[in-house]
Structure 1
Amino acid sequence: MRRFAAPALRTPCPCATGAPLPRRLWRSRTIMVVAGLSGIALAGAPFQAARAQFSMPRAGAGKGAPLARNEPVTFRSDDVSYDSKGGLVTWTGHVEIWQNDHILRADKVTFDRNTNVAAASGHVAIVEPDGQVLFSDYAELTQGLREGVMTNMRALLAMNGKLAANGSRRTDGKVNEMSRAVYTSCKICAQHPERPPFWQIRAYDATDDLEHHRMEYRDMYLDMFGVPVGYLPFFSTPDPSVKRQSGLLLGDISPSDKHLGTYITLPYFWAVNRSTDITFVPLISSSTGPQLTTQYRERFNTGIVHLTGAVAYDTNDQGGYYSGTNYIAPSNDKGLQGYLFAHTQFSLNENWRYGADVNLASSANYMRDYRITGYGADVLGSNLYLEGFGVGSYSRIDSSFYQGLNTGVINQSELPFVLPRYLYSYMGEPDALGGRLSVNTNDFNIYRPNGNSDQRLQLSLNYDRPFRNALGQVFVVTGHVDSELYKATKLDLLPAYSTVNAATTIQALPTVAVKMNWPFLKTLKNGSVIVEPIVQLIAAPNSGNSTTRNRPNEDSLDYEFTDTTLFSLNRHEGVDRLDGGMRANVGLHANWTFNNHQIDALVGESYQEHIDRNQLPNSGLGTHASDIVSRLSFTPTRWLDFTARDRMDHNSGQTRFADGLITAGVPLLSVTGGYIYNSKSYYYYYNNNPYTVGPPAAYFVPTNEATLGASSTYKAYRVSAYGRRDLASNRFVALGADLAYTNDCFIFDVAFNRRYTTINGDSGDTSILFTLTFKTLGTFPVNG
């Protein structure tokens, strides 16, 4: 390996501490010379004493005007002398020379009118308009700073970049050529500047293209802690001031992938103009065909367009597999494959905007084989929309469609097309009585090739009137009306499973409610205690069984009765199923605050005259007295936060639902844990017709799952790990870990992820990703 003596990367003290360049005290006698001739040829130009302080250009204010042959060059110094015989002009003492926004500073500058060369020595500094500063012991310049040479050159660049070279030559004000160059964006140790930086680029020669803002290195080594770890015969990168520029990007490489084998990518970025760019990412793998990905981005005055798509030739075979007891035949996903992800959003005016999110792929197996983002989800969703924002109001019309990915669970013909849906929400200002009116509507037309197809017109009106009395009781009187009109076909199919094929139905449910909160406050020495009984009375007609009344169900399929829905007028998620009848909800809320810490708890129960037959079995509302729900939040210190919820049978005390979340620790060590339990897996309830066939066996398997994560941060190091385990089946769902090191110029990250679940017959997957990020250079990802 060839070695060369590279210059040390030392930053002048003021710049190393982030201070501006020193402004020296000027003597009372200041001389200015303004040259109106070409370059800095000053023969015969008279010297004039300055009458006022000259306004200096601000370094780094912008790109500024380029160096030009015919622009005047201005000088300032403490003293000046002129040798008429030798044709020499000498400025000494805090010399400054500038043309446009380009500035030269030195202790001494001598100009030879015979050769048109200015020689600068002693603390030479050249300030460029973009903020770049060049330092040297000695420089010879001509053509108005446009050409010259410098010895022992150092430079401060954007993004804390630092460059040093044994020598530098500037040509036509456009190119700086350097010999034995060294570059880094890492900090230089002020106490030991002789120590090598964390990383540096070392090249036998380098070129800084000032016109195109590009750095080129030849015969380049990458050093870490002064030790060579990589070599490239040629390396080119934008200079640190560039935000975007056409060129090759750092690609992705993997020695071993489950479906791709060994693969490599080599992206090319094309900056079409200031608002448009295109990125091409070719992928070559050893186990399947190539892929070309294209990303198009454009920003307009009123919006954006982002398009990402790919075309590939997939040669991987997909065999048959079992999903439960169902055999899924092999799919024919070989050959030409591709995907398109599109996101657009435009503003019509200050109140209205429209857009689209389109996500399509030729197959789920193709997404799996080529690691396409979104694989692992059950569906890909697409949406077109127009929405408006007003004072207290929101309006939206959209259309949606879905593509099924998990073929073992999702049947494409059963997925809905929403053509279209309209939303409107209005919240009024308080009226003269102190009440507030709100209006909501959610209307849609849904089509399924194999399943319910229905149209709905819906309107909800709500009026809340709060008041309080002398006893401190806080009342809210509510008047509420829900009304829906349906027209449906194929009602005997999912998800309604009704007894008729088609029907037109209407429902309306007026509701009156009174809720009373009666807080009792006790002030303590270091805090306070609040005990708050809560009582709510709700009166509404019996809603009946919506299934036997032939009403579709699009928004109320899943249900969980917890503390969050205890005082809801309608405890269903949507309005296709309404919660009617007479009922009383009671609860007790308590809060203890002490030394900025607190314990908050709620326990409650619902007593209903009418048992809602629209609820799922085991929902907690199957009897006149509901299950007991509770919540406890405990934050005793800054480093501990605990929240738990529970629902238990009011007769047997058996827990039917529970979840908990705990976070404990400090940055040195933090632990997060989560737990969820449900006596039934409601997700599977509508897989079969639950009214004739009954729920599938998976419905009766309890959901019992725990997660645990831990992280630690110490100085520049960060480590984290997590695990998710299904306690019902006694197996892991996922495991992961991440280790990272970060400093001012470098990031190293290694991430491990293990998936144990089966998707489309693909039983589990393991990935390891190594990422090295060099500030101002880019990121090097390596997949394991």
Structure 2
Amino acid sequence: MAGKRRRNGHRRRNLAAVALLGGVGLTTHDSAKAGGMRREPGPKVNIGKTSSSSEPVTYLADHESYTKDGVATWSGNVQVWQGDQAMRADKIVYDRNSGIMRAMGHIAMIEPDNSTIFTNTLELSNGMHNAIARGIYIRMQDNAKIAANGMRRTDSRINDLSKVIYTACKTCEKNPDKPPFWQIRAYDAKQDSEHKRIEFSHAYLQFFGVPVFYFPLFSMTDPTVKRQSGFLMPGISPHDRYLGTYATIPYYWVINDSQDMTVQALVSTRTGPQISAQYRNNLRFGKIRFTGGVADATRHNTSFLNFLDNRTESTSTTGIQGYARGKVDFVINRNWRAGANVNVASSANYMRDYRITGYGNEVLASDGFVEGFGVGSWARLDAQLYQGLNQGVIQNAQLPFVLPRFSYGFQAQRDPLGGVFSLNTTDFVVYRPEGVNTDRAQIRLNWDRPFHNALGQEWLFTLRLDAAGYQASHYRQQPLYAPIGGTHTSGQFLPTAALKVSWPFMRSFAHGAGVQIIEPIAQIIASPTRFYKPTSLIPNEDSFQYEFTDSTLFSLNRYNGTDRLDSGVRGNIGLHGNWTWHGHVIDFLVGESIQRSIDPYRSPYDGLGHHLSSPVGRIRLSPNRFVDLTVRGRYNPYGKPFDYGEALLNTGVNHFHVNAGYIYEPITPYYLYQQNYRFNQVSRAYSTPISEITAGVNGDYGHYHASVYGRRSLSRKEFVSIGGDVGYANDCFGLDVMFIKQYTFIGGQQRNTTVLFNFTLKTIGTFGING
């Protein structure tokens, strides 16, 4: 009965309010249950949408009273809302004659964008659309806050604020009056809820209460908005080797909910202007990313002497220059997808001068593909194009066009004999304006039958068939340099049988002290012997590098492709060991190959120049969680001590880490095909060993972080690249100073040292200076 009486009491007060205030559009809704009020369904909350003045104003109060001259007083936890705006206060006085509401005491007004205004005195008119307040505090998203001496609201869209302070930093709990890390203090400000902008006039950016920058006018996006069209922060760089003093002016355009574009203008003192754009589109079935630019370049470049000791004339890099870089991915259905990657530029010098991403690479690669996945199968059809950037070393006419390439792989379920069948093929058409042209159809059939016996031995029996057919022309040109000409049709057919056995011995230590494994491994491989003579009609498009290391010791084919195949009768032996205890690890593998026939046309640096190969090995040491070291190499007992080696070290403690690496090889195989190696015209770049060391250190302490890295060629006695970063970051501010130096020569020149100075103010943006 008590609940029923209370519901009836609410109803009487609401109906009385309707009778008293209905003439000015202020109405109430009926109570839903005891002790509360139910609001009738209204418009959905839409961030950024203001309520209409024609919508009713609803209220709820603990106490209410009325006077004969039309003044209503509500007190005791008063709640008022209109559309998507809501307010609570200790007391509200409403004058029906003037249409003014005066709210007092602990006022909190919730806006449609979910921000909240706090004050102690507030006067409203026209429902809740016009207001005047003194001493307000606004809390917005991302911990953004505004404090002002006064506010005037117009039509629920414009808030004019006086004596304003804005920040997104946390307030000190021990000393709330202490200035935040940073704040903007302005004479006045205008908050536009319709266009989602906040404009400050006569503003100072202060750090710890100390003015640092002055802005006569400063405009920013409202923190409630994640995407909005408008100008972004401009960038100014005082000095650049190729651009001089330059400035960038970016504009961000929100096309719709899934698309946007950033257009940027660049003007400099040493060359012509550039306009560039970045386009993004997130589709329901894929995404598009595209970046491009065009410039009127005015810098002239001269000829230069490359590291092959050849004088190279510089290509034309003046006038209209441009670049395009894009990526497209589409999901056709649950089994198929398609995409493309585009990377093109008018010249490397243009990329260097205008700081285009990708400068420093020797080639730009582009491709388009269609790819499908099934149960145990995979297929891909693609096309590949390449553009050489370092014209002193790589000529575009010698780069291949792969139009097209088809790859397919299939693996069956285990058959009744206990084996697993797989099929792989990679077929392509390769065209070079200057070089070998190749058409290839290739297939690999493989059958693996694993089994084990009562002694714990693990066996693997393999049958493999490799077959390929070719039609090629221009054999005398790169990369074959064969002493034959004309167009030829050829093929190869290689059956292989292999048997591999491993016998792991394991023991456990008492009290969970660890596990130790010793595993001897042996393998025998048999196939017809095949040597690839200089006059061979079999082209070579994917097997330029022969890798005999611990990772390929038991591989049936140790080339990185299928145009060249390992053949003959050979055996491989190895010993694998592992000891793990209390999180510590020691793991190693050593082994070598025994071969019946020696290929006289193979590189003298591959470790297979004798019947008993050079031993290969790997060891990983992780004595504790602070150190992890991996070393691998190939020892040559017949010549130089080592003809391959590398090491990788990671060590550190909390907040401090060190990583280092080293790699050695007696040649640089990449440059073998730069000149006709068949007639001993091997370049100096090829005969120079690879001996490089890399190292990096990074650490952090509290809000501070720092890192430094370097890469140096010991054989060439020069650095490849160095860099570092020092920064500070807290809840509302970030500062980074980065240093980058690349020693890559393209077009006979290096890019100069780059220093990047960036600082970020939360909810406002990132400011940067490049030098």
> Could you say whether these structures have the same fold, taking a TM-score greater than 0.5 normalized by the shorter chain as the test?
yes
Rounded Cα–Cα distance in structure 2 between residues aligned with 1:321 and 1:47? 85
**Pairwise CA distance, 1:41:** 5.8
**Pairwise CA distance, 1:121:** 1.2
Partner of 1:519: 504
**Pairwise CA distance, 1:765:** 2.3
The answer to whether residue 610 in structure 2 is matched with residue 623 in structure 1 is: yes
**Pairwise CA distance, 1:613:** 4.8
Rounded Cα–Cα distance in structure 2 between residues aligned with 1:119 and 1:319? 78
**Pairwise CA distance, 1:65:** 5.8
Partner of 1:636: 623
Partner of 2:492: 507
Q: Does 203-212 or 439-448 show the bigger shift?
A: 203-212
Q: Deviations over 1:175-230 (max 9, x none)?
A: 11111111111111111111111111111111111112111111111111111111
Rounded Cα–Cα distance in structure 2 between residues aligned with 1:494 and 1:747? 52
Partner of 1:404: 388
Change (3 A) 1:156 1:46: closer
Give the alignment partner of residue 260 of structure 1, picking from 243, 246, 255. Answer: 243
Identity of aligned residues (%): 45
Residue identity opposite 1:476 in structure 2:
L
Question: Residues 60 and 132 of structure 1 are in contact (CA less than 8 Å); yes or no, is this contact kept in structure 2?
Answer: no
Structure 2, unpaired ranges of 5+: 1-5
Q: Does 241-250 or 44-53 show the bigger shift?
A: 44-53
Rounded Cα–Cα distance in structure 2 between residues aligned with 1:459 and 1:398? 18
| TM-score normalised to structure 1 length | 0.93
Partner of 1:213: 196
Rounded Cα–Cα distance in structure 2 between residues aligned with 1:38 and 1:707? 83
The answer to whether residue 206 in structure 2 is matched with residue 223 in structure 1 is: yes
User: What does 1:423-502 correspond to in 2, within 5 Å?
Assistant: 423-501=407-485, 502=487
Q: Does 35-44 or 708-717 show the bigger shift?
A: 35-44
The answer to whether residue 303 in structure 2 is matched with residue 352 in structure 1 is: no
Residue identity opposite 2:435 in structure 1:
G
Question: Residues 444 and 465 of structure 2 are in contact (CA less than 8 Å); yes or no, is this contact kept in structure 1?
Answer: yes
Question: Residues 315 and 334 of structure 1 are in contact (CA less than 8 Å); yes or no, is this contact kept in structure 2?
Answer: yes
The answer to whether residue 514 in structure 2 is matched with residue 531 in structure 1 is: no
Rounded Cα–Cα distance in structure 1 between residues aligned with 2:212 and 2:443? 68
User: What does 1:42-191 correspond to in 2, within 5 Å?
Assistant: 51-52=33-34, 53-54=36-37, 62-63=46-47, 66-83=50-67, 85-191=68-174
Q: Deviations over 1:215-250 (max 9, x none)?
A: 111111111111111111112111111111111011
Q: Does 729-738 or 36-45 show the bigger shift?
A: 36-45
Higher helix share: 2
**Pairwise CA distance, 1:47:** 9.5
Q: Does 576-585 or 389-398 show the bigger shift?
A: 389-398
Residue identity opposite 2:498 in structure 1:
A
Rounded Cα–Cα distance in structure 2 between residues aligned with 1:417 and 1:614? 28
Residue identity opposite 1:390 in structure 2:
G
| TM-score normalised to structure 2 length | 0.94
Rounded Cα–Cα distance in structure 2 between residues aligned with 1:762 and 1:465? 57
Partner of 1:743: 730
The answer to whether residue 547 in structure 2 is matched with residue 573 in structure 1 is: no
Rounded Cα–Cα distance in structure 1 between residues aligned with 2:753 and 2:21? 66
**Pairwise CA distance, 1:72:** 2.2
Residue identity opposite 1:342 in structure 2:
G
Change (3 A) 1:33 1:318: farther
Change (3 A) 1:39 1:359: farther
State the SS of the aligned residue for 2:551.
Answer: coil
Change (3 A) 1:41 1:204: farther
Give the alignment partner of residue 721 of structure 1, picking from 695, 698, 708. Answer: 708
Change (3 A) 1:27 1:141: farther
Rounded Cα–Cα distance in structure 1 between residues aligned with 2:80 and 2:466? 79
The answer to whether residue 587 in structure 2 is matched with residue 600 in structure 1 is: yes
Q: CA RMSD in A?
A: 2.4
User: What does 1:690-701 correspond to in 2, within 5 Å?
Assistant: 690-701=677-688
Residue identity opposite 1:666 in structure 2:
V
Q: Does 499-508 or 528-537 show the bigger shift?
A: 499-508
State the SS of the aligned residue for 2:351.
Answer: helix
Rounded Cα–Cα distance in structure 2 between residues aligned with 1:594 and 1:167? 69
State the SS of the aligned residue for 2:685.
Answer: helix
Partner of 1:682: 669
Partner of 2:3: none
Partner of 1:707: 694
Rounded Cα–Cα distance in structure 1 between residues aligned with 2:754 and 2:29? 73
Rounded Cα–Cα distance in structure 1 between residues aligned with 2:695 and 2:177? 46
Partner of 1:392: 376
**Pairwise CA distance, 1:509:** 1.1
Q: Deviations over 1:662-702 (max 9, x none)?
A: 01112332111111111222122222222223422332222
Give the alignment partner of residue 364 of structure 1, picking from 335, 348, 357. Answer: 348
Rounded Cα–Cα distance in structure 1 between residues aligned with 2:572 and 2:292? 53
State the SS of the aligned residue for 2:361.
Answer: coil
The answer to whether residue 735 in structure 2 is matched with residue 752 in structure 1 is: no
Question: Residues 40 and 143 of structure 1 are in contact (CA less than 8 Å); yes or no, is this contact kept in structure 2?
Answer: no
Residue identity opposite 1:189 in structure 2:
C
Question: Residues 187 and 201 of structure 2 are in contact (CA less than 8 Å); yes or no, is this contact kept in structure 1?
Answer: yes
State the SS of the aligned residue for 1:273.
Answer: coil
Rounded Cα–Cα distance in structure 2 between residues aligned with 1:556 and 1:359? 25
The size of the alignment, in residue pairs, is 758
Residue identity opposite 2:649 in structure 1:
I
**Pairwise CA distance, 1:283:** 0.6
Change (3 A) 1:48 1:340: closer
Report runs of 4+ in structure 1 exceeding 4 Å deviation.
26-32, 34-50, 55-62
Rounded Cα–Cα distance in structure 1 between residues aligned with 2:482 and 2:228? 61
Rounded Cα–Cα distance in structure 2 between residues aligned with 1:181 and 1:292? 37
Rounded Cα–Cα distance in structure 1 between residues aligned with 2:476 and 2:27? 100
Rounded Cα–Cα distance in structure 2 between residues aligned with 1:163 and 1:137? 16
Change (3 A) 1:29 1:434: farther
Rounded Cα–Cα distance in structure 2 between residues aligned with 1:59 and 1:135? 25
Give the alignment partner of residue 200 of structure 1, picking from 161, 183, 195. Answer: 183
**Pairwise CA distance, 1:298:** 2.6
Rounded Cα–Cα distance in structure 1 between residues aligned with 2:64 and 2:763? 43
Give the alignment partner of residue 287 of structure 2, picking from 267, 280, 304. Answer: 304
State the SS of the aligned residue for 1:367.
Answer: helix
Q: Deviations over 1:24-63 (max 9, x none)?
A: xx99986874877999866997997664444579999752
Residue identity opposite 1:321 in structure 2:
F
Change (3 A) 1:114 1:478: same
Rounded Cα–Cα distance in structure 1 between residues aligned with 2:758 and 2:261? 24
Rounded Cα–Cα distance in structure 2 between residues aligned with 1:456 and 1:508? 13
Change (3 A) 1:43 1:467: closer
Q: Does 716-725 or 541-550 show the bigger shift?
A: 541-550
**Pairwise CA distance, 1:386:** 1.2
**Pairwise CA distance, 1:102:** 1.7
**Pairwise CA distance, 1:342:** 2.5
Question: Residues 40 and 142 of structure 1 are in contact (CA less than 8 Å); yes or no, is this contact kept in structure 2?
Answer: no
Residue identity opposite 1:644 in structure 2:
V
Rounded Cα–Cα distance in structure 2 between residues aligned with 1:27 and 1:632? 81
Rounded Cα–Cα distance in structure 1 between residues aligned with 2:663 and 2:125? 76
User: What does 1:275-290 correspond to in 2, within 5 Å?
Assistant: 275-290=258-273
Structure 1, unpaired ranges of 5+: 1-25
Rounded Cα–Cα distance in structure 2 between residues aligned with 1:136 and 1:462? 78
The answer to whether residue 661 in structure 2 is matched with residue 661 in structure 1 is: no
**Pairwise CA distance, 1:327:** 0.6
State the SS of the aligned residue for 1:159.
Answer: helix
Question: Residues 89 and 106 of structure 2 are in contact (CA less than 8 Å); yes or no, is this contact kept in structure 1?
Answer: yes
Rounded Cα–Cα distance in structure 2 between residues aligned with 1:58 and 1:563? 71
State the SS of the aligned residue for 1:685.
Answer: helix
Change (3 A) 1:401 1:114: same
Give the alignment partner of residue 235 of structure 1, picking from 206, 211, 218. Answer: 218
